[in-house]
Structure 1
Amino acid sequence: MFTDIHTHAFHPKRAHHAVAHLNETYQVHCVGEGTVEDLLAREKRSGIGRCVVLCAATTPGQVVPANDYAVSLQRAHPEIVAFGTIHPGYEAWESQFERLKAAGIRGLKLHSDFQHFRLDDPRLSPLFEAAQDEFLFLFHIGDNVPPERNPSCPYKLAALLDRFPRLRCIAAHLGGYRQWEHSLKALVGRDVWLDTSSCTPFIDPALLREILRRHPQDRILFGSDYPLYDPGDALMRLQEMAGLSDAVLDRYCSNADALFGAQGGA
């Protein structure tokens, strides 16, 4: 099954505000409305049968509502695999892990830049220790600042992989949004999945091809980053910039079967 591993869809009451925030933060013009209905319609037009919707709590107080929404999404839409979230400032994280597992959610999204902590925050260690055999993590990695100032740079994730060798994780944006040279040094070739979201509008084509060439082909996942980009447009740009054959592009869209199974479900 073709999977879009990296999307966002917001509660109807928040969608307009969330899209405006993305436009301002990343200086882009989101093509999507940010709603589940618009997301699923665009995925269907693109030939994609399953999408991962990522939820993240920007404060500890948002952990429960964010996970409420993730659970409701996955229950309501068979095409969606929802990822819940956690925050190191949320003390009852063990109960959230149990709740998410009981609801069939096996993924967690961390966006430390938006959540206002660093990936090397020591408060995360017991969470990773407890979750590394139970959950798949998707980490936002990188930003348009030097790695030492970035809460989520490729080197911080590489250090986590060293400390928690059983940690299963996806490094978003090919392992480092606007930090692809550092991703090439720290993450490419390692036992980590890389997703392609929000890369092609910014990355040098030669660097894109080098990352894709040097990373295990079964560990590359297609991601659109909807609502920033349309899934069909993202597929076309990736294929054209990287010079991918149809077979290779299809493989990137199908590699998530190893994570979720060919017929969906986390």
Structure 2
Amino acid sequence: MIIDSHTHIYPDAKAARTVQSVRDRSGIQSYSDGTKNGLLDSMNQAGVDISLISNIATRPKQVKSINQWLQAQGSSKIRPLAAWHPDLASSPEMLALLKQSGFIGFKFHPDYQNFFVDDCKMFPLYETIAALGMPVLFHAGVDLGLPEPVHCTPQGLRNVLEAFPKLRIIAAHMGGDQMWPETEKLLFGRDLYMDTSFVLRKMPLPLIERFFKKHPIERFLFGSDTPWGGQKEDVEYILALPFLNTREKEMVLGQNAAQLYGINETTSIKATKPDFT
């Protein structure tokens, strides 16, 4: 089973505009049209069985509508990560409702959401998420379309790990896009997951090998960042890596994510439509 742990889709009426806006701002290419059908077509071409989708709430008032839309997209092939905003008042009961409704984790983008990953104002939220046993995916490192400062650095992630050792963290973009020396120094060997999204085919091959050999192979997840990355291209790239054996490739491509998120091919999003706020 191949699981893409990092993808994005948008409502059909907004997808073209959203994709073009990101392309204009960052200069990156897109590999699909950003719609659900575009993702499903990409999955079929790449042999991907399940994709995890996420969107970012840049304002507190967006959380409810984003989560309702994400939940509606859920199926046996598409599993949603919940959106949340740091400035939205929360309670353990509110976050538990998301888990009960079929969300399998959370996604934060500290740059878009304007918070530093190790800001103490986030700590009550992290504590609740950790208690729920839900993984949390962070955009990590540089975002090509946004100015400095970088809000989620390897040092910041290290600080969160030390404060919340039971929080299951996935650092996107191999631990921190364009911050490889810091990632190696501060995160290698830690109980932290990294996904391959967006950067895999951009990193020098010797650097990729060093990452896979020096950080536990059980802590890597395949992610494409589609529409900003190509699922087919990334799957083929991982399968061709000469320094990973067959078992290790299977772990990266799906087994690690299945274990982390508790995924099997028969589970799916709940049919209920609760009020997420």
TM-score normalised to the size of structure 2? 0.88
Aligned: 1:101 with 2:102: no
8 Å contact kept, 1:138–1:169: yes
Q: Which whole-Å CA distance do the structure 2 matches of 1:178 and 1:30 have between them? A: 20
Same amino acid, percent of matched pairs:
29
Summarize deviations over 1:106-134 as a string: whole Å, max 9, x none. Answer: 31000011112211222211111111121
1:61 counterpart residue number: 61
1:261 counterpart residue number: 263
Question: Residue 5 and residue 104 in structure 1: after superposition, are their counterparts in 2 closer, same or farther (change >3 A)?
Answer: same
Q: Which residue identity is paired with 1:132?
A: A
Q: Which whole-Å CA distance do the structure 1 matches of 2:8 and 2:37 have between them? A: 12
115, 118, 124: which one aligns with 2:116: 118
Q: Which residue identity is paired with 2:173?
A: H
2:220 counterpart residue number: 220
> Mean alpha-carbon deviation: is it higher for 90-99 or for 132-141?
90-99
Question: Residue 49 and residue 144 in structure 1: after superposition, are their counterparts in 2 closer, same or farther (change >3 A)?
Answer: closer
Summarize deviations over 1:21-44 as a string: whole Å, max 9, x none. Answer: 221333111121001111011112
Task: Say which SS state the counterpart of residue 13 (structure 1) adopts.
Answer: helix
Q: Which whole-Å CA distance do the structure 1 matches of 2:143 and 2:65 have between them? A: 30
Superposition map of 1:86-97 within 5 A: 86-92=84-90, 94=92, 96-97=94-95
- Structure 2, unaligned stretches of length 5 or more? 269-277
Q: Which whole-Å CA distance do the structure 1 matches of 2:58 and 2:245 have between them? A: 39
47, 65, 84: which one aligns with 2:82: 84
Q: Which residue identity is paired with 1:107?
A: G
> Mean alpha-carbon deviation: is it higher for 201-210 or for 165-174?
201-210
Q: Which whole-Å CA distance do the structure 1 matches of 2:10 and 2:266 have between them? A: 21
Q: Which residue identity is paired with 1:4?
A: D
8 Å contact kept, 2:86–2:113: no
2:140 counterpart residue number: 141
Task: Say which SS state the counterpart of residue 208 (structure 1) adopts.
Answer: helix
Q: Which whole-Å CA distance do the structure 1 matches of 2:125 and 2:253 have between them? A: 30
RMSD (CA atoms): 2.0
Compute the displacement of 1:100 (Å). Answer: 0.8
Q: Which whole-Å CA distance do the structure 2 matches of 1:207 and 1:143 have between them? A: 17
Task: Say which SS state the counterpart of residue 175 (structure 1) adopts.
Answer: coil
Question: Residue 264 and residue 211 in structure 1: after superposition, are their counterparts in 2 closer, same or farther (change >3 A)?
Answer: farther
Q: Which whole-Å CA distance do the structure 2 matches of 1:245 and 1:22 have between them? A: 36
8 Å contact kept, 1:55–1:82: no
Paired residue total: 262
Q: Which residue identity is paired with 1:261?
A: I
Compute the displacement of 1:141 (Å). Answer: 0.4
> Mean alpha-carbon deviation: is it higher for 114-123 or for 157-166?
114-123
Task: Say which SS state the counterpart of residue 232 (structure 2) adopts.
Answer: helix
1:129 counterpart residue number: 127
Q: Which residue identity is paired with 1:38?
A: G
Summarize deviations over 1:11-64 as a string: whole Å, max 9, x none. Answer: 112211221122133311112100111101111221111111012101112111
8 Å contact kept, 1:112–1:118: yes
Q: Which whole-Å CA distance do the structure 2 matches of 1:226 and 1:242 have between them? A: 24
Q: Which whole-Å CA distance do the structure 2 matches of 1:95 and 1:241 have between them? A: 44
Q: Which whole-Å CA distance do the structure 1 matches of 2:76 and 2:239 have between them? A: 28
